Amino acid sequence: MDWEVGSNALACSACKQSFVEEQEIFSALYDEQTAFLRRDFCNGCWSQQDRAAIFSHWQTRIPKKDAPVKRFVDDEIVLEFFRKLEGQDEPLKKNFRYVLALLLMRKKALKFIEFKRTEAGAMLILRDALSQSDYHVADPDLNEEQIQQVTEEIGQILNTKIA
């Protein structure tokens, strides 16, 4: 159940120029079927990327070397990632979406509505707190260790610590 992802690179994936402190960059996730590949780009190279090939992206800033580690993630970035995983059939992506749903419920971005058993399996029905849209999330029946592993992988992708 390993996802090969990394945190921000030290240089732009396209032009290879090193990033400097406080530089704004773009991070992009590419869906490689069984893994997400993360690439970071400077502003100049970002404008030249094929957006159709990108699964998800966000803008961030290279922190100062002595700055405390950022311990939060913008809910909208997590919610966008959650939405884009809808309808994915690969077990790893289903697991990933389920754990993102748990995180978003904890942050009150999604509200639990109902737990439902269907022929296809167990499912959570959740409502987006802002748009009032409902989401059906397959429950992959993960144990605590598997949930923790996926949570750590989410933290790696988003370059943050998720408690």
pLDDT digits (tens, 9 = 90+) for 35-73: 778 899 999 999 999 989 898 888 888 878 776 655 556
Q: Are 56 and 95 in contact (CB under 8 A)?
A: no
Nearest to 108 by CA among 69, 63, 78, 138: 78
Check: CB of residue 37 under 8 Å from CB of residue 63: no
Backbone angles phi, psi at 145, to 5 degrees: -65, -40
Selection from 112, 137, 115, 116 nearest residue 127 by Cα? 112
pTM of the model: 0.67
Phi/psi class of residue 46: alpha, beta or left (left: φ > 0; alpha: ψ in -120 to 50)? Answer: alpha
Band of residue 160 on the pLDDT scale cut at 50, 70, 90:
low
Decide: helix, strand or coil at residue 56: strand
**Could you tell me the pLDDT band of residue 90, with boundaries at 50, 70 and 90?**
confident
Q: Please, are residues 144 and 125 in contact by the beta-carbon 8 Å criterion? A: no
User: What pLDDT, on a 0 to 100 scale, did the predictor assign at position 8?
Assistant: 56
pLDDT at 122 > cutoff 70: yes
pLDDT of residue 74: 72
Average pLDDT, the chain: 83
Strands 110-118 and 56-61, sheet pairing: unpaired
- Lowest model confidence (mean pLDDT) among 31-35, 49-53, 111-115: 31-35
Q: What is the DSSP letter of 101?
A: H
At how many degrees (to 10) do helices 91-106 and 144-158 cross? 80
| pLDDT above 90 as % of the chain | 37
Radius of gyration of the chain (CA): 17
Percent of the chain at pLDDT > 70 equals 86
User: pLDDT band for position 116 (50/70/90)?
Assistant: very high
The pLDDT assigned to 66 comes to 76
